[in-house]
Amino acid sequence: MTRPTPSEADVSLIRRLCVRLAKRPLTVLPVTQRLLTLVVVLSGAALPISHAHTPPVVLPGPWGEMREESPARPLADAGDAAIRLRQQHMRAVSSQYRSVEALAMAETPLAPMSLAAARTLHELAERNTALFAPAVPRRTRFGAKAAIWQEPTEFAEHVAGFTLATSRLLQAIENSEAESVGAGLAAVRHQCLACHFHYAYWENRPGVEGRRVAARP
Ligand code: HEC
The predicted-structure confidence for 192-206, as pLDDT tens digits, reads as follows 999 998 999 877 665
**Angle subtended at Cα 116 by Cα 113 and Cα 120, rounded to the nearest 5 degrees:** 140
Distance 196 CA to ligand 1 centre (A): 6
Residue type, 90: M
User: What span, in angstroms and rounded, lies between the C-alpha atoms of 62 and 53?
Assistant: 28
SS3 29: coil
The predicted-structure confidence for 157-192, as pLDDT tens digits, reads as follows 999 999 999 999 999 999 999 999 999 999 999 999
Q: Which domains does the chain have, with CATH numbers?
A: 9-68 (no CATH), 78-202 (1.20.120.10)
What integer pLDDT is reported at residue 111 of this predicted model?
98
User: What span, in angstroms and rounded, lies between the C-alpha atoms of 90 and 125?
Assistant: 9
Distance 165 CA to ligand 1 centre (A): 15
The DSSP output letter for 144 is E
Does residue 138 have its Cβ closer than 6 Å to ligand 1?
A: yes
The predicted-structure confidence for 57-102, as pLDDT tens digits, reads as follows 999 999 999 999 999 999 999 999 999 999 999 999 999 999 999 9
Distance 143 CA to ligand 1 centre (A): 9
